[in-house]
Amino acid sequence: IKGLSVHAFNLAAQEVGGDYYDVIPIDERYVGFAVADVSGKGIGGALMMSICRSVLRAHASQKTDPAVVLREVNRTMIGDIYEDMFVTMIYMIYDTETRELSMARAGHDPALILEPEAQEVHRYESGGMAVGLVEPELFDNIIDTKTITLEPESVVVVYTDGITEAMNNRNEEWGLDPLSRAIIAGKTRTPSQISEIVRERVLRFVGEMPQYDDMTLMVLKMD
């Protein structure tokens, strides 16, 4: 992609997973990036996420405001999503001409951004509730879009909570701080190398403990 490279991985906890990541070409100038997590497990969760993917891609065309897209996704899915399920999602749109990254969160963990000269990872917050959890009137009022202009060599990481909440045999969670340290350790590396550092560290922490939640990570790095 002009101006950046991207790499992602998904490790499903069961035969099928409920996590989802995607790269969506919007037009010649804009590219969308999505990471999502469904509350349900197994076949039901996977089917619901498959529906969510189709709805997202249907509404993403020609729209450059992530919050607008997620409002449409929630409005479409609210009547069909299973009563005991919801979907958290972060949707980002990159402008290849201005190097601006816009993002909206539907109840999902914030994106992590590491600027080239920074010593700490920044959590990029924005308002929003999960898809399928509340009616459109409330959802539409809460969700918003935040935009940042990315410097060369900046790193953006988006993930599902299966990464930070991965547990070892002492019932300890891996957490956000170890994830941040892994990103900092790989800041001069490629997106695929940063992904591998995170994957190696979280799996080493988990050890022989059975994986109970899907793990998904997406890494963007500016050229």
Question: pLDDT tens digits, residue range 3-52?
Answer: 999 999 999 998 888 999 999 999 999 999 999 999 977 888 899 999 99
pLDDT surpassing 90 at residue 163: yes
Q: Is the pLDDT of residue 185 over 80?
A: yes
pLDDT value, residue 16: 86
User: Contact at 8 Å (CB) between 102 and 64?
Assistant: yes
The per-residue pLDDT for 205 is 98
Average pLDDT over residues 72-78: 95
User: DSSP 3-state assignment of 158?
Assistant: strand
Phi and psi for 220 in degrees, rounded to 5? -110, 140
Residue with tokens 């009022």: 141
